[in-house]
Amino acid sequence: MKRIGVTASVVFLIGALSGSAFAVDPLLKEEAGEGYCHMKFPAVRQRTLSSDNPQAKRDSTGDVIDFYGACAETPTSDDQIIQQKHDEQFMFGRNYEDGD
């Protein structure tokens, strides 16, 4: 019985880790020249933007970042987190603050 529990735990852990690895892979990555790339990758889930473990949205949501820049960029890199936080604040101000 203990062996089944250990095996199930290992399988669950491997599945969780592989799922996280796939979540941060770009949907599109094209070299644009000398260290620059054009990439499209899923946006970060809004609930996880301020956490220590930001998570990318599912590909099926259609919420995609169209990025031009360094090829080392990832959906959860610091620059992307800061930009998405800024975008959220801008949209909040645009939608809820009165311009009069």
Every domain of the chain and the residues it spans: 2-96
For residues 64 and 80, is the Cβ–Cβ distance under 8 A? Answer: no
Over the range 48-87, which residues count as b (16 or more CB within 10 Å of their CB) and which as e? ebeeeebbbbeeeeeebbebeeeeebebbeeebbeebeee
Strand, helix or coil at 51?
A: coil
- Residues of the chain with confidence (pLDDT) below 70: 1-26, 98-100
pTM strictly above 0.95: no
Q: What is the pLDDT of residues 52-73, one digit of tens each?
A: 888 888 888 888 888 888 888 8
CA distance linking residue 12 with residue 68, whole number of Å = 35
Spatial distance between the Cα atoms of 48 and 52, rounded to a whole number of angstroms? 8
